[in-house]
């Protein structure tokens, strides 16, 4: 090997790496970036980001953390970006769509662009069902479809059901409906359907009696799980509505179910969160598959942060 050839390889390596100030950039929302007086909820987000940052740095990666809406940041300065608590995107979809397409042209997205776009819309549940996985029975009502809640209730033989947007997070515009309260929700339903697609599912009673199981899958394999419980009198498991999170040891059946749900995704997500409920026939059902910015609860299992860092480091080799 000649000196000239070695020099060429060296210069080529520098060229590939130049201008890359960071290896991995953690994306968050502006109100989680540097809060002056964080409450308990924000402190949990900051703690989890710190656990992940430290795990990534132990892999020798240069880590950056930024508000995803920062228009001054040059995304070509980072080798990859990891979506964290970017939860305000649910109120600014158009901006988020522009962002992910722009950023994907300059850096690596974890998870990738096609996965994010697919996972934004809960029509993905249809794809999961095609692979033989259980989901709650789901009826989609497309934007501007000329139908009323009463018509849906009668046509589909519903009793008690959930209405929510097909593109949503954090229980945004999620309503528990029955024959007694249909009329009072007709106006909001018309307003919502004029702006976006909606979906209805039978109310799964296990959410109030057993809770919702969440299994985290990294690199295709389960790492840990939590159980989310509703506040007495409510039906939503989110912290915003008084829900609570607990350690949980999943069964082999539940782990296999979660790992299969992730395995049917193409490409295979580097990380995923599978939310599972028992349907009204006591069968496992995927209530949601979170591949964009899931809360991973690594504070319940710090080794999972190292596992994620290991998978990210391998992907960036």
* pTM beyond 0.85: yes
Residue 250 and residue 12: Cα distance in Å, rounded? Answer: 49
Residue 162's Cα: distance from chain center in Å? Answer: 20
The count of C-alpha atoms lying within 13 angstroms of the C-alpha of 193, restricted to the half-sphere facing its C-beta, is 19
- Residues in the chain predicted with pLDDT less than 50, given as ranges, are 5-18
What are the start-end ranges of the E strands in 87-130? 108-110
CATH 3.40.1350.10 fits domain 121-135+206-291 = no
pLDDT, residue 95, reads 95
Architecture of domain 139-202: 2-Layer Sandwich (3.30)
For residue range 179-204, list pLDDT tens digits in order.
Answer: 889 888 999 999 999 988 999 999 99
Q: Is 163 helix (H, G, I), strand (E, B) or coil?
A: strand
Domains of the chain by residue range:
3-111, 121-135+206-291, 139-202
C-beta separation of 285 from 136 below 8 A: yes
Question: pLDDT above 90 covers what percent of the chain?
Answer: 72
pLDDT, residue 298, reads 96
pLDDT, residue 237, reads 72
pLDDT, residue 310, reads 97
Q: How many CB atoms lie within 10 A of CB 316?
A: 14
């Amino acid at each position: 090997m000649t000196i000239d050839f070695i020099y060429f390889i060296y210069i080529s390596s520098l060229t590939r790496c130049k201008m890359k100030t960071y290896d991995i950039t953690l994306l968050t929302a502006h109100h989680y970036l540097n809060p002056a007086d964080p409450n308990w909820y924000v402190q949990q987000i900051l703690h989890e980001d710190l656990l992940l940052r430290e795990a990534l740095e132990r892999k020798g990666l240069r880590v950056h953390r930024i508000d995803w809406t920062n228009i001054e940041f040059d995304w070509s300065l980072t080798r990859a970006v990891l979506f964290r608590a970017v939860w305000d995107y649910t109120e600014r979809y158009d901006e988020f769509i522009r962002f992910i397409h722009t950023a994907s042209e300059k850096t690596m997205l974890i998870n990738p662009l096609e996965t994010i776009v697919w996972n934004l819309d809960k029509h993905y549940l249809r794809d999961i069902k095609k692979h033989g996985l259980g989901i709650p029975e789901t009826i989609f009502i497309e934007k501007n479809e000329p139908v009323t809640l009463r018509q849906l209730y009668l046509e589909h033989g519903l009793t008690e059901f959930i209405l929510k947007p097909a593109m949503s997070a954090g229980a945004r515009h999620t309503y528990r409906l029955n024959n007694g309260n249909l009329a009072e929700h007709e106006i909001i339903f018309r307003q919502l359907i004029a702006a976006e697609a909606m979906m209805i599912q039978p109310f799964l009673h296990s959410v109030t009696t057993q809770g919702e199981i969440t299994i985290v899958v990294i690199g295709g394999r389960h790492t840990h799980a939590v159980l989310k419980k509703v506040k007495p009198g409510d039906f939503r498991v989110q912290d915003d509505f008084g829900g609570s999170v607990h350690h949980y040891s999943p069964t082999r059946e539940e782990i296999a179910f979660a790992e299969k749900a992730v395995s049917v995704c193409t490409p295979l997500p580097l990380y995923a969160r599978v939310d599972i409920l028992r349907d009204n026939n006591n069968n496992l059902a995927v209530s949601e598959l979170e591949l964009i910015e899931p809360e991973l609860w690594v504070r319940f299992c710090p080794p999972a942060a190292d596992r994620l860092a290991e998978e990210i480091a391998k992907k960036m080799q």
